[in-house]
């Protein structure tokens, strides 16, 4: 192997040729042709309906590409809804998830035409029912907003992850809390499904299938006990990316085969997934120059122009993004490599992008390219600390690099 498996070499020349003083503090690039091909492959099935979890990457061009690929959109805030609607997506193709929906937000979403909600508390359910009655929407069965109740199960496997895993989170409610309701008490709503998602970045088909299988009976029992016909089961996201290069990746055909089994066993009409990283992570790259190199207590350190101000995820998940030097003709096989600590410019030891292998002769001014940055990159960072630049965002399509967002200096956001 001469190139990292995550690196699409067709983009290499464009990145090498891209010299722009405005982008010297780091920029993102999304490979739209590769994204299109990947999404088309995900849609080659008739088992699940696919939504895109906009939180993974809300850039206009990314949303447009998912729209063309037939994905609908899971939004978790008013800002995400505005961005999706601004791309010309009809609100009937929007699903609203998230634990912080106020009655005011629910009313605004209904007013804007959103008709599918994942409800995460008893208050949300009551408020949504009230909002529909107050806005005097047509009361025909077909016009009622579709509601899925988000369920948080507890497991014996005792694992934690950013979405909770086995720890208590604000995402949804326990079965015993939901058992206090009956669907007939909410006549303005079509309560027709359950949503469950609490495991992040799963890399094992077997483990996912096992977790999904264990969910069926508590969920169907719950539906029965509250008078719900369980038409829809939404299994969220959580399909993993091999950030650490451990050689474990999910097989999509296996997922489809497994989900066909889950669909049949649960007896639902529709099975939904809201994909974030599995849809968009691998189309994205982040490029950043090295500004200093030093030896410190026997450890080689590289200081980069930006770190967690542009890419926070490694600090909160302890999962690094893979990296490679951006150098014409680079091949790891023919290069002496060594491990470096990669630090950003912020005054916190958290600002570290990893302990990763790079050429031993790497020098100040060389550029690094990080992979899998199409998800949870630009908008999951902490860009304001120390008044650095906001990163630029580019798309690469038909061999052309096009800027979508220019880099912005601190003066653009400081008051």
Buried b (16+ CB within 10 A) or exposed e, 326-362: bbeebebeebeeeebebbbbbeeeebbbbebebbeeb
Length of the chain as a residue count = 415
Q: Which of 237, 314, 354, 377 touches ligand PLP (CB under 6 A)?
A: 237
* One character per residue 64-93, x = contact with ligand PLP (rule: CB under 6 A): ----------x-------------------
Residue whose CB is less far from ligand PLP, 23 or 242: 242
Nearer residue to ligand PLP within complex by CB, 273 or 392: 273
Q: Please, which residue, 162 or 218, has the CB nearer to ligand PLP?
A: 162
Nearest alpha-carbon partner for 141 in 192, 179, 96: 192
Token reading at 188: 């303005």
Residue whose CB is less far from ligand PLP, 58 or 236: 236
Selected from 67, 120, 274, 351, the binder of ligand PLP by CB under 6 A is 274
Cα gap 205→396, rounded to integer Å: 32
Among 62, 147, 189, 275, binds ligand PLP (CB under 6 A): 275
Taking CB under 6 A as the binding criterion, the range among 4-12, 268-276, 295-303, 307-315 that sits at the site for ligand PLP is 268-276
- State the DSSP string of 164-226: -TTS--SSSB-HHHHTT--GGG-TTSEEEEEE-----SB--HHHHHHHHHHHHHHHHHHHHHT
H/E element, 34: helix 32-42
The piece of 34-42, 184-192, 234-242, 253-261 that touches ligand PLP (CB under 6 A) is: 234-242
| DSSP designation for 248 | -
Is 277 a binding residue for ligand PLP by CB under 6 A? The answer is yes
For residue 364, what are the contacts with CB-CB under 8 A and spacing of at least 6? 290, 291, 292, 293
Unique residue bearing structure tokens 């089994």: 261
Cα 9 from Cα 166, distance rounded (Å): 40
Among 172, 193, 236, 371, binds ligand PLP (CB under 6 A): 236
Residue found by looking up tokens 């264990």 in the block: 214
Task: Mark the segment that binds ligand PLP (CB under 6 A) among 22-30, 211-219, 274-282, 389-397.
Answer: 274-282
> Is position 304 an interface residue for ligand PLP (rule: CB under 6 A)?
no
Task: Give the span between the Cα atoms of 167 and 198, in whole angstroms.
Answer: 9
> Beta strands of 202-322 (E only): which ranges?
232-234, 270-275, 284-296, 299-304
Pattern 138-167, ligand PLP, x by CB under 6 A: -------------------------x----
Indicate the residue among 202 and 406 with the shorter CB distance to ligand PLP. Answer: 202
Closer CB to ligand PLP, 98 or 383, in the complex: 98
Q: How far apart are CA 299 and CA 310, in angstroms?
A: 24
Q: Given candidates 272, 278, 286, 394, which one binds ligand PLP under the rule CB under 6 A?
A: 278
38 binds ligand PLP (CB under 6 A): no
Cα 43 from Cα 155, distance rounded (Å): 31
The residue (of 243 and 278) whose beta carbon lies closer to ligand PLP is: 278
CB nearer ligand PLP, residue 191 or residue 342: 191
Q: Within positions 94 to 113, which residues make up the interface with ligand PLP, using CB under 6 A?
A: 97
Nearest CB to ligand PLP, comparing residues 243 and 340: 243
Residues that bind ligand PLP (CB under 6 A): 53, 55-56, 74, 97, 163, 197, 200, 236-239, 274-278, 375
């Amino acid at each position: 192997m001469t190139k990292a498996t995550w690196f699409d070499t067709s983009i290499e020349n464009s990145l090498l040729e891209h010299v722009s003083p405005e982008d010297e503090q780091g920029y993102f690039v999304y490979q739209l042709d590769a994204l299109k091909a990947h999404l088309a492959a995900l849609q080659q099935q008739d088992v699940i309906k696919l939504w895109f979890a906009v939180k993974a990457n809300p850039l206009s061009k990314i949303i447009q590409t998912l729209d063309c690929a037939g994905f609908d959109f899971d939004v978790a805030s008013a800002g995400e809804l505005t961005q999706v609607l601004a791309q010309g997506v009809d609100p009937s193709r929007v699903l609203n998830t998230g634990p912080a929906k106020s009655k005011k937000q629910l009313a605004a979403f209904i007013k804007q035409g959103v008709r599918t909600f994942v409800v995460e508390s008893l208050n949300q359910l009551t408020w949504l029912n009230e909002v529909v009655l107050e806005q005097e929407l047509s009361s025909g069965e077909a016009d009622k907003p579709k509601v899925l109740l988000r369920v948080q199960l507890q497991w014996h496997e005792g694992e934690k992850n950013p979405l909770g895993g086995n720890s208590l989170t604000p995402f949804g409610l326990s079965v015993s809390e939901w058992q206090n309701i009956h669907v007939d008490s909410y006549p303005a709503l079509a309560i027709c499904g359950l949503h469950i998602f609490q495991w992040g970045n799963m890399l094992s088909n077997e483990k996912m299938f096992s977790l999904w299988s264990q969910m069926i009976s508590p969920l169907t029992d719950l539906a029965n006990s509250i008078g719900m016909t369980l038409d829809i089961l939404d299994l969220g996201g959580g399909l993993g990316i091999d950030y650490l290069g451990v050689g474990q990746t999910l097989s999509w055909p296996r997922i489809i085969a497994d989900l066909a089994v889950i669909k049949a066993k649960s007896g639902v009409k529709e099975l939904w997934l809201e994909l974030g990283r599995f849809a968009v992570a691998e189309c994205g790259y982040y490029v950043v120059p090295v500004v200093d190199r030093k030896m410190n207590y026997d450890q080689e350190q590289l200081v980069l122009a930006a770190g967690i101000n542009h890419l926070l995820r490694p600090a909160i998940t302890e999962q690094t993004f893979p990296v490679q030097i951006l150098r014409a003709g680079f091949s790891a096989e023919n290069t002496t490599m060594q491990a470096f600590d990669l630090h950003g410019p912020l005054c916190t030891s958290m600002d570290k992008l990893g302990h990763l292998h790079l050429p031993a002769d790497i020098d100040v001014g060389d550029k690094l390219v990080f992979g899998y940055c199409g998800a949870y990159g630009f908008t999951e960072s902490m860009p304001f600390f120390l008044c650095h630049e906001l990163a630029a965002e580019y798309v690469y399509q038909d061999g052309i690099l096009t800027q979508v967002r220019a880099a912005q200096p601190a003066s653009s956001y400081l008051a």
